[in-house]
Amino acid sequence: MVVTCCIGNCKSLWIRGDIITFHCFPKDERLRKQWISAIPSNILRTTDINQHSRLCSKHFTAECFAESTSFKSLRNMLNKNAIPTIFEECQEFQYQLVELEKSNLSHILKREIGVQTLKRNFDESEKIIQSLTKRLKQRDEKIKDLEERLKKKETEEKNDSMKMIKDAVNKYICEERKELFLHEFANNETGSSKKTYSEYMRQFAAATYHHSPKVYKILKKLITLPTTYTAARWLIDFSQDPQFMEEIK
């Protein structure tokens, strides 16, 4: 077990044969209290003084020691009424502790100031974020409004264009071909995947498919026509009409 001095800043360690000796606190209650009273309480390693506590010879004056008859140490025996009185180094230790505490408090204060600064910066950043969020929301609303207005304008322009084309078809296209154009316009206007076909367009699709399924497939890419299956089914239906079959020969 390592024996050390109970004084906080004292670095003495017990070494066999060393000139520095270690002493137990007196068993005599009166003398024990005198020792404890003589030692500043703020320099003790612990306030729990017990049978294991030791005080080294560095804290006693020369008068406190009796002459030793042992060759191992010149000062290994205390006088009966010896009282420790030397604690200058320990007072320096206490001063260092105070300075350390001040330094720690300074660091804590600086850290607290830093935390407050960060909090203030965070609050300011939060306000900026809220302002930017509000501006972004307003911008999105404006963009949405512009998109709706553009869409409405495009629809109006498309309707006007279709009306002009219809008027031109009705005015300049012959009756035989007018149905084909009007059918195409009607299906484009709906924009639906489900198309409607007039009787004329049904006959046109069946007749085209009858003459050449290959041509029908090419024509289907250019204008709105049903699938080849539907055209073939219509052809079967119209084949019951002799007049239709006579016309498409």
pLDDT digits (tens, 9 = 90+) for 18-45: 778 888 999 889 998 899 888 887 888 8
pLDDT surpasses 80 at 135: yes
Q: Which two tokens stand for residue 93?
A: 């230790």
Q: Output the CA angle 8-13-17, nearest 5 degrees.
A: 150
15: in domain: no
Complete DSSP assignment for 171-216 = HHS-HHHHHHHHHHHHHHHH--SS----HHHHHHHHHHHHH-HHHH
Q: Which of 132, 151, 170 is the last residue of a domain?
A: 151
53: in domain: yes
Contact 31, 81 (CB under 8 A): yes
Residues 6+ apart with CB under 8 A from 33: none
65: in domain: yes
Q: Which of 86, 107, 126 is the last residue of a domain?
A: 86
Q: Are residues 239 and 224 in the same domain?
A: yes
pLDDT band at 166 (very low <50, low <70, confident <90, very high): low
75-89, 101-115, 175-189: which has the minimum mean pLDDT?
175-189
pLDDT, residue 190, reads 59
pLDDT surpasses 50 at 74: no
11: in domain: no
216: in domain: yes
Q: Are residues 74 and 108 in the same domain?
A: no
162: in domain: no
pLDDT band at 170 (very low <50, low <70, confident <90, very high): low
pLDDT surpasses 60 at 225: yes
92, 98, 100, 101 alpha-carbon torsion, rounded to 10° = 160
Q: Are residues 199 and 241 in the same domain?
A: yes
pLDDT, residue 95, reads 46
1-30 in b/e form (b: 16+ CB < 10 A) is eeebbbbbbbebeeeeeeebbbbebbeeee
Per the model's pLDDT, the better-predicted residue between 35 and 201 turns out to be 35
Q: Are residues 81 and 93 in the same domain?
A: no
Q: Which of 102, 129, 151 is the last residue of a domain?
A: 151
Number of domains in the chain: 3
Q: Which two tokens stand for residue 31?
A: 């003398």
95: in domain: yes
Coil/strand/helix, residue 79: coil
161: in domain: no
Contact 71, 24 (CB under 8 A): no
Q: Are residues 82 and 28 in the same domain?
A: yes
The whole-angstrom separation of Cα 121 and Cα 248 is: 85
Residues 6+ apart with CB under 8 A from 188: 162, 224
Q: Are residues 144 and 93 in the same domain?
A: yes
pLDDT, residue 240, reads 79
pLDDT surpasses 50 at 72: no
Q: Are residues 199 and 233 in the same domain?
A: yes
Q: Are residues 96 and 69 in the same domain?
A: no
Q: Which domain holds residue 59?
A: 22-86
